[in-house]
Amino acid sequence: MPDYKVYYFNVKALGEPLRFLLSYGNLPFDDVRITREEWPALKPTMPMGQMPVLEVDGKKVHQSVAMSRYLANQVGLAGADDWENLMIDTVVDTVNDFRLKIAVVSYEPDDEIKEKKLVTLNNEVIPFYLEKLDDIARDNNGYLANSKLSWADIYFTAILDYLNYMTKSDLVANHPNLQRVVDNVTSIESIRSWIDKRPKTEI
Amino acid sequence: MPDYKVYYFNVKALGEPLRFLLSYGNLPFDDVRITREEWPALKPTMPMGQMPVLEVDGKKVHQSVAMSRYLANQVGLAGADDWENLMIDTVVDTVNDFRLKIAVVSYEPDDEIKEKKLVTLNNEVIPFYLEKLDDIARDNNGYLANSKLSWADIYFTAILDYLNYMTKSDLVANHPNLQRVVDNVTSIESIRSWIDKRPKTEI
């Protein structure tokens, strides 16, 4: 079994899909949490100077979606064929677009610009994405692709706390089909066990 | 053979990787170019109301990177195993991050903000990404992953015109290893033939 390490800050955010997927497959991993003080010295050792980073038998890789797809293949959560994988990839990239649209407002440093952007985000962008994603979950019986569990469900559920934190809301509260996705993922014993034992962090 | 359609505006940009990949595989496709006047009526028929859209035997899908990966699998430009695919996915997502960082400045509507952002983009972001990508191309002998042709090379080469358009520059001019990637792709006969016959557009 390969030796896995996840390098990230002491937050869930973009590292959590990796931790969920490794936990789902019962693959032991070293959950390395870097402090803000340690980061400047470590940054040059990371590909592209960013985290999360996954280390597999000493080889460091980056890009959270690419790493999640790789782990999904190791733990049996990819699609059964190219078309199923396309369905998974499409919804994961849509979830990621949604995250970026939220993040660009959440991290806007200028208060005046931020207030303006928040209006569009809250009145247009968030309702649009939630409705589309909820429709997909309805059409797939409580999953995000192919009417069965895949890494798309894991990815969405794992970053949901981060999306909720940035939007100061409970995004799935009024979207029962997305709530079913979350319930389907968090009721898996290995995921439940990870959630119970992971460090408690706000983000 | 499936019936392929590519729906996009009359531009290269994010549709061009799909057209390159279909051309590479000698897969006939209907290259549907929508005018700005036709778009409002068509928009509600497209998943997420966006293009490019790929139609495969009547089924419409979206997300340019996901569609490119799917086509790559059909034409033999994916990796040989999960690790090779991870190397490809990582560099494609990095190229896509680079595109987004350029686009957010290029499409900034406020002139004053744009001027400020252009300084960081030109002095920091662009040199950083180009240096990293050029190093990857050097380490992979003129390819972006696994020292052999893959859809990562096709994706980069196909969107390069768009990146050059947004940055008003020739991004690979002083990056000989990235220039080798472009040369390796554009010297493929099926790609060369597509480039010769495609509609001439600025973007």
Contacts of A73 in chain B (CB under 8 A): 82, 85
Spatial separation of the C-alpha atoms in residues B31 and A120, rounded to whole Å: 34
Return the ∠ at Cα A123 (arms to A119 and A126), rounded to 5°.
110
Q: Evaluate if residue B132 carries a pLDDT over 90.
A: yes
Region B58-84: mean pLDDT is 98
Measured CA to CA, the distance from residue A156 to residue A177 in angstroms comes to 13
User: Which H helix or E strand runs over A64?
Assistant: helix A64-75
In this structure, the number of other CB atoms found within 10 A of the CB of residue B10 comes to 13
Same domain, B23 and B60: yes
Distance between CA atoms of residues A69 and B89, nearest Å: 9
Looking at the structure, do residues A64 and A88 belong to the same domain, yes or no? no
Contact A85 B69 (CB under 8 A): yes
Give the nearest partner residue to B66 out of A67, A93, A100, using CB atoms. A93
Q: Where are the beta strands (DSSP E) in B37-158?
A: 53-56, 59-61
Domain co-membership, B95 together with B44: no
- Range of A32's domain? 2-74+188-195
Query: Would you say residue B114 has pLDDT above 90?
Result: yes
**Element containing residue A184 per DSSP (H, E):** helix A176-186
Residue type at B126 in one-letter notation: I
The answer to whether residue A202 sits within a structural domain is: no
Instruction: Report yes or no for ipTM above 0.85.
Output: yes
The whole-number pLDDT of residue A15 equals 98
Number of domains chain A is built from: 2
Whether B87 and B141 share a structural domain: yes
Query: Which two tokens mark B12?
Result: 């290269």
Answer whether B86 sits within 8 Å of A67, measured CB to CB: yes
pLDDT in tens, A161-191: 999 999 999 999 999 999 999 999 999 999 9
Provide the pLDDT confidence category of residue A39 given band limits of 50, 70 and 90. Answer: very high
pTM for this structure?
0.98
> What is the mean predicted confidence (pLDDT) over B81-95?
98
Tell me if B67 is assigned to some domain: yes
Note whether residue A91 is domain-resident.
yes
pLDDT at B138 over 90: yes
Residue in chain A closest to B129 (alpha carbons) equals A48
Closest CA to A32 of A64, A8, A59, A54: A8
* Confidence band, pLDDT 50/70/90 cuts, at residue B1: confident
Q: CATH no. for residue B109?
A: 1.20.1050.10
Are A93 and B69 within 8 A, CB to CB?
Answer: no
Instruction: Determine, yes or no, domain membership for A105.
Output: yes
Residue of B nearest to A92 (CA): B66
Same domain, A88 and A52: no
Q: What would the pLDDT profile of A47-72 be if each residue is shown by its tens digit?
A: 999 999 999 999 999 999 999 999 99
Residues from chain B that touch A83, judged by Cβ atoms under 8 A, are: 70
pLDDT digits over B168-195, tens only?
999 999 999 999 999 999 999 999 999 9
Q: Whole-angstrom Cα distance, residue A187 to residue B21?
A: 41
Same domain, A92 and A164: yes
C-alpha–C-alpha distance, residues A164 and A102, integer Å: 10
Shortest Cα–Cα distance, A76 to chain B (Å) = 12
Mean pLDDT of A11-35: 98
Let me know whether B49 and B85 are in one domain: no
Q: Does B104 touch chain A (CB under 8 A)?
A: yes
For residues A87-94, average pLDDT: 98
CATH number at residue A31: 3.40.30.10
Of B48, B92, B93, the CB nearest to A132: B48
Give residue B117's identity as a one-letter amino acid code: K
The b-or-e profile of B178-197 (16+ CB within 10 A means b, else e) is bbbbbebbeebeebeebbee
Each residue of B139-174: pLDDT tens digit?
999 999 999 999 999 999 999 999 999 999 999 999
Predicted pLDDT of residue A96: 97
Residue B113 pLDDT > 90, yes or no? no
Q: Nearest residue on chain B to A75, judged by CA atoms?
A: B82
Q: Does A82 touch chain B (CB under 8 A)?
A: yes
Q: Can you give the pLDDT at residue A94?
A: 98
What percentage of chain B reaches a pLDDT higher than 70? 100
For A81, the 3-state DSSP assignment is coil
Q: How many CB atoms lie within 10 A of CB A199?
A: 9
Please tell me the predicted confidence (pLDDT) of residue B137: 98
pLDDT higher than 90, residue A16: yes
The share of chain B scoring above pLDDT 90, in percent, equals 97
Does A168 reside within a domain? yes
Candidate from A73-77, A112-116, B184-188 with smallest mean pLDDT: A112-116
Is residue B201 one of the residues assigned to a domain? Answer: no
Q: Does B86 touch chain A (CB under 8 A)?
A: yes
Q: What is the pLDDT of residue A1?
A: 86
pLDDT band for B28, please (50, 70, 90 cuts). Answer: very high
Distance from CA of A2 to the nearest CA of B (A): 12
Round to whole Å and give the CA distance between A162 and A160: 5
Same domain, residue pair B43 and B141: no
In a domain, A201, yes or no: no
Q: Are residues A131 and A164 in the same domain?
A: yes
Q: Are residues A116 and A160 in the same domain?
A: yes
Q: What is the pLDDT of residue B129?
A: 98
Looking at the DSSP assignment, which residues form a beta bridge with residue B188? none
Question: To the nearest whole angstrom, how far is the Cα of A86 from the nearest Cα of chain B?
Answer: 6
Question: Lowest-pLDDT range, A116-120, B124-128, B162-166?
Answer: A116-120
Written as one letter, the residue type at A71 is L
Strand segments, DSSP code E, in B57-170 are 59-61
Residue A105 and residue A56 in one domain: no
End-to-end CA distance of chain A: give it in Å, rounded. Answer: 31
Secondary-structure percent of chain A, ordered helix, strand, coil, rounded to 5: 60, 10, 30
A–B CB contacts, 8 A cutoff, strictly below: 65
Is any Cβ of chain A less than 8 angstroms from the Cβ of B103?
A: no
Cβ of B69 and A63 within 8 Å? Answer: no
What pLDDT is recorded for position A51? 98
User: What's the CA gap between B153 and B133, in Å, rounded?
Assistant: 11
User: What is the Cα–Cα distance from B2 to B125, expressed in whole angstroms?
Assistant: 41
What tokens were used for A99?
């995250």
> Is B202 a domain residue?
no
Alpha-carbon distances of B124 from A187, B43, B149, B185, rounded to whole Å = 45, 37, 29, 28
Please give the pLDDT value at position A42. Answer: 97
Q: Does A173 touch chain B (CB under 8 A)?
A: no
Contacts of A86 in chain B (CB under 8 A): 61, 66-67, 69-70
**Is there a contact between A69 and B86 if contact means CB atoms under 8 Å apart?**
yes
Query: With an 8 Å Cβ cutoff, is B69 touching chain A?
Result: yes
Contact in structure between A144 and A181 (CB atoms under 8 Å):
yes
Please answer yes or no on whether A63 and B104 come within 8 Å at the CB atom.
no
Are A99 and A170 members of one domain?
yes
What's the mean per-residue pLDDT of chain A?
Answer: 97
Q: CB of B24 within 8 A of CB of B77? A: yes
